[in-house]
Amino acid sequence: MTEESEVRDIASLLEDEYAHAILRYTSERPMSANELSDACDASVSTVYRRIERLREHDLLAEELELDRDGHHYKSYRARLDRIEIELSDGRFEIEVTYREENAADRFTDLFEGLR
């Protein structure tokens, strides 16, 4: 993918109301597709399509969660921290900055979810 097409793809994705909302909600805490469906007032299939597009650009991470009954499900969290788009010499350049992942925090969140 060229840099210019990536700029267009990401800009189009951020303009989409559901993708935009998914990033907003998952920047606060990881959420399942069902939770996102309720929060975004969208069908689960719509949410999954946006999740797939966001994951294609590494803007959303998928995590495996365990519930109290021992079952597991997927949740999603925003990886996006910042996007910079620069126009220089007739070309667009994009730089995506991702949130730092803290393994200790992830372990604590997983452990607390089991209680």
- Domain count within the chain: 1
Per-residue pLDDT reduced to its tens digit, 41-74: 999 999 999 999 999 999 999 998 888 888 888 9
Q: How confident is the model at residue 75 (pLDDT cuts 50, 70, 90)?
A: very high
Structural domain span for residue 107: 3-114
CATH number of the structural domain spanning residue 32: 1.10.10.10
Per-residue pLDDT reduced to its tens digit, 4-23: 888 899 999 999 999 999 99
- Please tell me the least confidently modeled range out of 14-23, 81-90, 101-110: 101-110
User: Does the pTM exceed 0.85?
Assistant: no
> Which residues contact residue 113 at a Cβ distance below 8 angstroms, ignoring those fewer than 6 apart?
65, 66, 67
Cα–Cα dist 9/12, whole Å: 5
Q: For residue 111, what pLDDT is reported?
A: 56
